[in-house]
Structure 1
Amino acid sequence: MESYANGKWNSRAPVVRILTCKVCNEPAPLYGVTDFNKSCEERRGRYLPLTGVPVYYHRCDSCGLIFTSAFDHWSKGDYLQHIYNDDYVLVDPDYIDTRPAGNAVLILDFIKKGHALRCLDYGGGNGKLTSLLREGGVDGHSWDPMDEGGASPSGSFDFISAFEVLEHTPEPLATIQRALGLLNGRGVLLLSTLTIDHVSPRGMDNWYIAPRNGHITLYTRRSLQTMFAGFGYRVHHFNDNLHMALKDDPSWLS
């Protein structure tokens, strides 16, 4: 199933009723459908005009992952044209300043016992968070897959943040593997993504299921644990939105 194919939108693409879960490979029946322009801002009463382009989501019977395959074959150019364009600020106004500022405070407190930690903001967007961390004396680096000019990160890192990243990837296992591959042996990955553990049948009204924001893969705690366990990592959930993955506790985390 695709809602976008061959360089153009296709609202008449056939719908596959059952797909394979992108995390645990178990059956994932069709869960629901929404318009492409459904955004997170709807929870604040702000609605974009409907496009008439349906985006179908599936939900795994086993781990609970909710995902769409509608964007699986998109190129970077497709994402930049249709999602991460100049209008993205309308569906996520907090990404410019508010979220980076709050996350910088969180990270500076989180790593305050560390010394000369090499830190990477994975999926760092406009780089604002990394700039704030550097102002706080952190050896900070930033990388984002949608940055057309940014070089891929090199070397290993003691700490990696991935705020509001995992819900944007059509390939969760590949994304996690790449991020974890940049951690050193006792490194820590701190990530934010809203886990949706309790959903009703055809519960597509959940505000976090938002294709216009690029929210195309939504997790439960179980799906996160399953995914990271496959790479030898355990997950600690601070709350429904903030999570930590690691193998061994570094000394600075105690």
Structure 2
Amino acid sequence: MIWKPEEMESVACDFCGTSNSSRKFSRGDGMSVVECRLCGLAYLQPRPRKEYISRFYDADYFTGVSAASGKGGLRCLAESNGQETRIPRSLALMKEKVGVLPGKKILEIGCATGEFLELLTREGADAEGLEISEFAAEIARKKGLEVTTGTIEEMGNSTSPFDMILAFEVIEHVPSPVAFLEQVAGLIRSGGHLLLSTPNYACGQRYGDQWYGFTGSFEHIYYFSKDVLERMARQAGLVLTYWETTMHSGDNSRKPGFLDRRIDWFGRFADMSRAVGLPLALSLARQRSLNYLPYGNGHKITVVFRKDDSC
């Protein structure tokens, strides 16, 4: 998407409020990614004004048209061809780290056309969704799901607290991640959880301009490393209890052949071994598939936060 000068704005760091940043990367759409010299948050500078950001989320964004053109987007309406899908890692992680789902009051922010929300309801959760796109929300509602059109900032704190809030691939889209986390924390009961995923900026630092996060997904306006995300969430009263990254490297310069995947796996396994020790790394690797590893530095990071009112 080509932005006109009057549709752009320069912003200070959303986390620490300073304007002391340095340009780090150039995305495939020509936009610049800068990094705050004080706190390390990475973001677009300049970026589209808030009132224009909704342009990204039209019907093409959810039907796969935008994704096919390399601009970023979802394929919510893709045909499954009758093939049975595996249990999503996000659902397995919820059960593993949070516990049973029946009766849990859950909000999924950015629920799109409701595929995962539908799965949660089948698991017995009292689940509802929030979606910025009226196009996607209406499709979800036709499935019988409870979905509100809007943003978390517009939702307010009038609802009863949730046991769990999900925000998969959302925080990198919002105008203010600090305000987003504060609003989310206000909607979670004490001891409840936030599960959040986002592209891993540490992976971008590793591969530079060839990182998949910079060659596509042009709707993203923020980039998060685990450390920045942890500090930002703690400020909102959310404590990190677990994190993992995908085994997909995010390196867009190499073909994802068998040998490439194995070389990349061993490289990141070595990183994890240095972080936690070889015995624990081997144990963790045996417990799960090759798709996810704790303490990794793959393309996407998934974190689990617990609300702690003592923060």
Whether TM exceeds 0.5 here: the answer is yes
Residue 142 of structure 1 is aligned with which of 115, 124, 129?
129
Q: 1:85 to 1:179 in 2, by over 3 A?
A: same
Q: Report Cα offsets for 1:154-204 as digits up to 9, x if no partner.
A: 332011111111122232112222222211122110111133236559922
Is 2:52 the partner of 1:65? no
Secondary structure of 1:75's match? helix
Relative to structure 2, which stretch is displaced further, 102-111 or 238-247? Answer: 102-111
* Distance in 1 of aligned mates of 2:60 and 2:178: 22
Secondary structure of 1:103's match? helix
Equivalent position of 2:187 in the other structure = 182
Paired positions, count? 223
CA contact (8 A) 1:101 1:132 kept: no
Relative to structure 2, which stretch is displaced further, 198-207 or 186-195? Answer: 198-207
CA contact (8 A) 2:101 2:125 kept: no
* Distance in 1 of aligned mates of 2:86 and 2:13: 30
TM-score normalised by structure 1 residue count: 0.72
Q: Percent identity?
A: 21
* Distance in 2 of aligned mates of 1:202 and 1:22: 25
* Distance in 2 of aligned mates of 1:182 and 1:205: 38
One-letter amino acid of the counterpart of residue 182, structure 2 = Q
Match runs of 1:82-97 below 5 Å = 84=61, 86=63, 87-90=65-68, 91-92=72-73
Residue 78 of structure 1 is aligned with which of 51, 55, 66?
55
CA contact (8 A) 2:106 2:125 kept: yes
Q: CA deviation at 1:244?
A: 1.4
Relative to structure 2, which stretch is displaced further, 104-113 or 219-228? Answer: 104-113
One-letter amino acid of the counterpart of residue 55, structure 1 = M
Q: 1:112 to 1:226 in 2, by over 3 A?
A: closer
Cα-Cα RMSD: 3.4
Q: CA deviation at 1:135?
A: 1.0
Q: 1:115 to 1:80 in 2, by over 3 A?
A: closer
* Distance in 2 of aligned mates of 1:135 and 1:198: 35
* Distance in 2 of aligned mates of 1:89 and 1:178: 30
CA contact (8 A) 1:64 1:197 kept: no
Is 2:301 the partner of 1:245? no
Q: 1:203 to 1:76 in 2, by over 3 A?
A: closer
CA contact (8 A) 1:225 1:235 kept: yes
Equivalent position of 2:297 in the other structure = none
* Distance in 1 of aligned mates of 2:160 and 2:212: 37
* Distance in 2 of aligned mates of 1:242 and 1:100: 16
Q: CA deviation at 1:221?
A: 1.6
* Distance in 2 of aligned mates of 1:6 and 1:99: 46
Q: CA deviation at 1:247?
A: 2.9
Relative to structure 2, which stretch is displaced further, 68-77 or 56-65? Answer: 68-77
* Distance in 2 of aligned mates of 1:85 and 1:93: 5
TM-score normalised by structure 2 residue count: 0.60
Secondary structure of 2:199's match? coil
Residue 107 of structure 1 is aligned with which of 47, 70, 94?
94
One-letter amino acid of the counterpart of residue 190, structure 2 = G
CA contact (8 A) 1:3 1:70 kept: no
Structure with the greater alpha carbon radius of gyration: 2
Equivalent position of 1:226 in the other structure = 231
Q: 1:58 to 1:100 in 2, by over 3 A?
A: farther
More helix by share: 2
One-letter amino acid of the counterpart of residue 24, structure 2 = Y
Q: 1:207 to 1:105 in 2, by over 3 A?
A: same
Residue 22 of structure 1 is aligned with which of 11, 14, 21?
14
* Distance in 2 of aligned mates of 1:215 and 1:156: 29
Q: 1:35 to 1:165 in 2, by over 3 A?
A: same
* Distance in 2 of aligned mates of 1:96 and 1:103: 20
Match runs of 1:109-188 below 5 Å = 109-113=96-100, 116-147=103-134, 150-151=148-149, 154-188=159-193
CA contact (8 A) 2:62 2:77 kept: no
Match runs of 1:35-50 below 5 Å = 35-36=28-29
* Distance in 2 of aligned mates of 1:159 and 1:78: 29
Q: Report Cα offsets for 1:72-108 as digits up to 9, x if no partner.
A: 3343542335983652342455655779944334434
CA contact (8 A) 1:34 1:55 kept: yes
Q: 1:168 to 1:5 in 2, by over 3 A?
A: same
